[in-house]
Chain A
Amino acid sequence: MAARRCSASVVLLFLCGLSVFVAANEQNTTPTGGYRAAEADSPRTPAEAAGHPAAEDGRWEATEVGDAAPADAEPDERDASRPGTTVPQPKDDFQEELVIRPLHSGDIYASFQFRTLWETDFMKGNKVSHYRLFPKSVGQVISKFSVRELHISFTQGYWRTMQWGQPFLPSPPGAELWVWFQDTVTDVDGMWKELTNVLSGIFCASLNFIDSTNTVQPSASFKPLGIDNVTDHRFLRYATLPREIVCTENLTPWKKLLPCGSKAGLSVLLKSEKLFHSSFHSQAVHIRPVCQDSECKTTSWELRQTLNVVFDLHTSGQGKREWSLFKMFSRTLTEACPLASSSKIYIDITDNPEGELFELTPATPLLSQAVLMGDRRTFSVYDLTQQITFGTMRSLNLLIRWKSSEGHMLRPLLHAERYVAGYGLQAGEIHTLMYNNHPYRSFPVLLLDSVPWYLRLYVHTLTVTSKGKDNKPSYIHYQPSKDRERPHLLEMLIQLPPNCVTEVTVQFERALLKWTEYTPDPNHGFYVGSSVVSSLVPSIVAMDTNSSLERPLFSNFFPCKEESSYFVRIYTEPLLVNLPTPDFSMPYNVICLTCTVVAVGYGSLYNLLTRSFQIEEPSPGLAKRLANIIRKMRGVQPL
């Protein structure tokens, strides 16, 4: 299989946008909030601002993009203001964050981000044994398996791009795991096998079902997100389990990795009875090495735990378009995690500058801006490290009350869907549709398809069409499957023309499995994991390429190298394909029938047809035989 490589694909590696961080603050007592806000002589840091009363309302100010110094200074100042919770020279650091975005459909999207940074080196000879904030189980995994980067996500549900827009961190339905190993590792497959089993134990998930039949090594789609830009994909392993069901037993071990557990801080909101009463639930762990400063003199390990959840307006009952922390999580907030250096809640109010869409109480004086997904967004910020945030009730219960009730479909710039075409149990066709909704810019996307071996892809039927015309991919990497050993891997770099839909189709044949290879519920069908579409989408506003700048956690995950575009990864829906299935419910009948037909019917019929019948001569008597022998010796004719 000829695989052409295109240099452009490598570019996709270094992607991504950045945001103008804007630490903003206000200096007023807002009428609804009812607590004392502050006036600042220097409006740079919220921590300082907290002390001074003022009468101005709704003013916020942005720091300069290049001006890193105040941002760097910020944590120090905050540390100083809370003596006793931090060590003088902290080598590890914990931040927590909750972003809430009210969606047009009336649903609400909440995204938790927890980041633990630790300036240590797991790979050197000295064993790391003293753990403070960083979870020991994860640290041991990193050092034992020589992991350079590890990304694991568990998702229940499918992210509805057309209704909800882009998520902060995308993930496919089911479980997804991709790992970059250090280039010192010799037996990558062995390491991978062991690692998946260990992770299976840590997260109480069926990751042990990851084996060579569903593991691939993508050549371009998954590049390291940390500092090491290795491109040798021999050290990369990627696998998805689309069938994995995510529930509380996966949430509990995930929560245990947090320094505060579920005892304090934002994590008290993580109650499973509410998190799983939602439209979408996704939890993830990302481990990668990152730079400490802009010169990248020192590196540290970043453990980022994210949890995304979308609550549904209709199923939450009452029918009122109204959301509060209590209604979402059945808890309110009373304190930040004492171990956290920063603990904030962001509410996306971009579409609601004048409060005409929804009403937010208590109001906050703090505003922040971030460039996110090619768009400049404005957020209201609640700093949980400030006692004043909790007001006189000593608890924070944010309330969002909708004023209008319009719910229209969105038109995200990039959107993809996939389905199986055809009927019958012999052949079929996989259609992948990719929508470029940009009015005039075309952009490249990398499509990754990993298809199990029992769907035999006919690669000669692969077509890519846009607007009815053939669209030739500039790069195709195809690895054919081997029965019962490895899946198909198809990676393509496709240029999506503006304002149209690009369709990728490939035909397949359904293989007949051996009877022990069927799952216990064969008539349910077999899953094919999501395809992955990675792309650099043209940005409307200039992206921030300075990665060292202090920014909200949700906006700085994907590194960004260009100002004009930002990185987006979207996942299509998984497929459920029926394979030809024997009727297992009547093996007895089947065995009886086939045995009877073969033994009695076919056997004797064959016998009748092939045998020639002759009248048998009666056998001669003993005397006659003797006489014949004598006659033969004499050379005369026998009787």
Chain B
Amino acid sequence: MGLLSDPNRRQALISLLTRLNAPICVVCYMAGVAWFMGLAFEPFTLRTYMSENAMGSTMVEERFPAGERALATGREFASQKNKVDGMPVDWLVKAMQARGLEVFTQRFTRTLPFPDENNERYMVKGTNVYGILRAPRAPRTEALVLSAPCSPGDNNNQAVGLLLGLAQYFRNQIFWAKDIIFLVNEHDLIGMQAWLEGYHHTNTTGMDWSPLQGRGGSIQAALSLELSSDVITSLDLVLEGLNGQLPNLDLANLFYAFCQKIGVLCTIQGKLPRNDWDSVSGYSHAVQTMMLMVMKQASGRPWGDHGLFLRYHIEAATLKGINSFRQHKTDTTTIGRLLEGMYRKLNNLLERLHQSYFFYLMPSLSHFVSIGYYMPAFGLLAVILLLRALDLWVQLVTPAAPTEDGVVDVEQSGSGVLSVLTPLVISHLTGTALYMLPIRFQEMAVEHFPVSETEAVVLTAIAVYTAGLALPHNTHRFVSGEATEQGWRVLKLVAVLYLAVLLGCTALINFSLGFILALTLVPVAAFITPHVPKVLSAFVLVVLSPACTLLFSVFFFQELQEMPVSFQDGWLLYLSVISQGILDHFLYGSLVYPLIALMVYPCWLLFWNILFWK
């Protein structure tokens, strides 16, 4: 800082930065991307380790014997489900009561803002059934949750069977120190949302639910189980929750430790662990796993029933049983033992899980990248914005400095404020329209056009988005008469700083979203001026806009999952992703849609504005 207090050296430094601004920016961008790609390289990552002492050294024994009986219960559940064509509430209540649990039910109804065509639901009405295993000599202050969704069709019957089997086995043990809640939720996430809102008596999304009759105190951890076959080849761990929240890393460590101990093949993002990190294919495997996590986290949606727990500071994960064509199969008893072990260790917890990381990326289950390692990648991108801002600031200040004419300055800044403020307001109004109109005008759109409600919402969103590009942005001509060189510089300075703050805040909460947005928006922000070739720049600008980023992400995600789609299917998928994003916001309170509509898109419009300044 002494460097900066010396006017001469300060001048030198600033002139260096302005002179070499473009090369430095390019280097920073490349370094940021390279750093990010390096994160998946195994020697650069840390091995996972159990931080929580209460779960570490205390070994537990797993003795769950009744896998076959659990499967039989699952089959009985399936037949009951088919009989009533939905959730067999009475049967579940009886089954849980027979296992010595305190059983309660919760009814809920929810009318979606527009029909969900993926899951074919609009007016949702359902019942959650849950049974509480009261821990002996515990005062109902702490609880653990094990949930299994009651899915339509033949899915997840084994999960419910295993849940009931575990309930019966757990009930006969004396060592529980926390109540255990066995929950079967209908309509997966909507049911889970209703139950969690009922449990915590909050109403964030306007759902109707009947109040809960029984509770177990503050929930310490939760696991959601998805199991659709009698035997499995591997268990997949799903961590990504609402708004990119992740459970404490110790929960993942716990799962990994027990998979190792019992000998179950475990995966994350459906990718098997590999040992050949030094080969190209091994490295690209790790990159793919990590990129999948980044994409999922950036989407901000809950990727399993566990995702909604995280809002309530409850560590939760989903375990998915996968049955592929491998030789080695794992039976239900073994999965039961795995869950028993995990619950016994969670039962030993003295405090909430807090020792390990809450912000991390996982290139494999055995390795993780902590926030301290991945943040520099984003920082290198963000510093470009600051460098550009510095450059602009210097350019703005230098011509004014020698004249030292205060009167002129004031006049200029007066019109400058107006010429900056008007595009800011207009672009934010466009953003607000993008946020409000699709839902408001769906009925009108359905009346006038031959589309369904869902299509109406998505197409209105796209229409508003595109219309935003055609808005009269050159308001400064009416305000200040002419397009000054000064004017766009001020606007760009504001836009660049705005983007820097916006991306910085986003990356702190949801690194993946912040990083992906930075990857596309930072180059735009860096190079755009009114003097670059219009058509080409406009094309680049549109290609790097948030909507196109989403489109590419859809294709890229399919590619990563080894399920590439044709352009036609991809486009349909893209439309459904938009509708899902809007639904996620209204159903569960996901913040990605409002963030894009109200902040990121207006910010991008400012750069569009600068391009067409003259």
Contacts and interface: CB of A to CB of B under 8 A. Distances in A.
B139 A417 contact: no
A576 B215 contact: no
A421 B351 contact: no
A608 B5 contact: yes
Contacts, number: 111
A477 interface: no
Contacts of A174: 139
B5 A578 contact: no
A162 B134 CA distance: 12
Nearest to A106: B100
Q: Which of B4, B139, B201, B311 has the most CB of A within 10 A?
A: B139
B141 A573 contact: yes
From A105, A158, A278, A521, residue with most partner B Cβ within 10 Å:
A158
A420 B202 CA distance: 10
Interface stretch (A313-321, A378-386, A454-462): A313-321
Contacts of B355: 585
A281 interface: yes
Interface string A151-181: 0000011101011000000000110000000
A297 B51 CA distance: 68
Interface string B415-444: 000000000000000000000000000000
B172 A315 contact: yes
Contact of A576 (B97, B136, B142, B202): B142
Interface string A386-423: 00000000000000000000010100000001011111
B137 A420 contact: no
Interface in B133-178: 134, 136-142, 171-174
B193 to A, nearest CB: 13
B350 interface: yes
Contact of B313 (A163, A578, A585): A578
Interface in A300-319: 312-315, 317, 319
Given A423-B200, A423-B311, A600-B1, A281 B137 contact: yes
A197 B47 CA distance: 50
A585 B52 CA distance: 11
Residue among A314, A575, A585 with max Cβ neighbours from chain B (10 Å): A314
Interface string B172-190: 1110000000000000000
A576 B217 contact: yes
Contact of B351 (A156, A524, A574, A607): A524
Given A279-B134, A422-B202, A575 B313 contact: no
Contact of B138 (A157, A319, A423, A429): A157
B137 A407 contact: no
Contacts of B137: 156-157, 276, 278-281
B312 interface: yes
A314 B254 CA distance: 29
A242 interface: yes
Given A423-B312, A608-B1, A314 B134 contact: no
B136 A312 contact: yes
A46 B234 CA distance: 71
**Binding site secondary structure of chain A:** loop
A404 to B, nearest CB: 14
B139 A163 contact: no
A613 interface: yes
Contacts of B171: 314-315
B7 interface: yes
A525 B218 contact: yes
A573 B217 contact: yes
B102 interface: yes
Interface in B1-53: 1, 4-5, 7
B180 to A, nearest CB: 13
B215 A608 contact: no
B7 A575 contact: no
B102 A162 contact: yes
Contacts of A527: 141
Contacts of A575: 141, 217
A578 B218 contact: yes
Interface size band for B: 20 to 34
A78 interface: no
Nearest to A421: B201
B354 interface: yes
Contacts of A272: none
A231 interface: no
Interface in A421-463: 421-425, 429, 431
Contact of A157 (B4, B139, B313): B139
B200 A576 contact: no
Contact of B1 (A417, A578, A607): A607
Nearest to B134: A160
A604 interface: yes
Contacts of A319: 172
Contacts of B102: 160, 162-163, 409
B172 A314 contact: yes
Contacts of B312: 423
B174 A574 contact: no
Nearest to A173: B139
Interface in B315-369: 350-352, 354-355
Contacts of B217: 419, 573, 575-576
A425 B312 CA distance: 10
Contacts of B313: 423-425, 578
Interface in B38-94: none
A523 interface: yes
A489 B201 CA distance: 24
Contacts of A600: 1
A574 B201 contact: no
Given A431-B201, A576-B217, A578-B352, A158 B140 contact: yes
Interface in B280-316: 311-313
A613 B7 contact: yes
A130 interface: no
A600 B1 CA distance: 8
A527 B4 CA distance: 53
B79 to A, nearest CB: 24
B202 A423 contact: yes
Contacts of A613: 5, 7
Given A160-B134, A173-B139, A573-B141, A315 B174 contact: yes
Nearest to A276: B137
Contact of A419 (B97, B139, B201): B201
A277 interface: yes
A611 interface: yes
B136 A524 contact: no
Contacts of A312: 136, 174
A1 B142 CA distance: 34
Nearest to A433: B211
B608 to A, nearest CB: 33
Contact of B141 (A280, A424, A576, A607): A576
Given A312-B136, A417-B215, A421-B201, A608 B4 contact: yes
Contacts of A417: 215
B144 to A, nearest CB: 14
A505 to B, nearest CB: 9
Contact of B139 (A158, A278, A424): A158
A67 B138 CA distance: 45
B533 to A, nearest CB: 39
A280 B135 CA distance: 10
A40 to B, nearest CB: 45
Interface of B: 1, 4-5, 7, 97, 100, 102, 134, 136-142, 171-174, 200-202, 215, 217-218, 311-313, 350-352, 354-355
7 contacts: A158-B134, A407-B100, A425-B313, A523-B354, A600-B1, A604-B4, A607-B5
Q: Which 3 A-B pairs have the closest CB atoms?
A: A173-B139, A604-B1, A421-B201
Given A160-B102, A315-B173, A608-B4, 15 more contacts: A157-B138, A158-B134, A173-B140, A278-B137, A281-B137, A312-B136, A315-B171, A423-B200, A424-B313, A523-B354, A524-B351, A576-B141, A578-B313, A585-B354, A608-B5
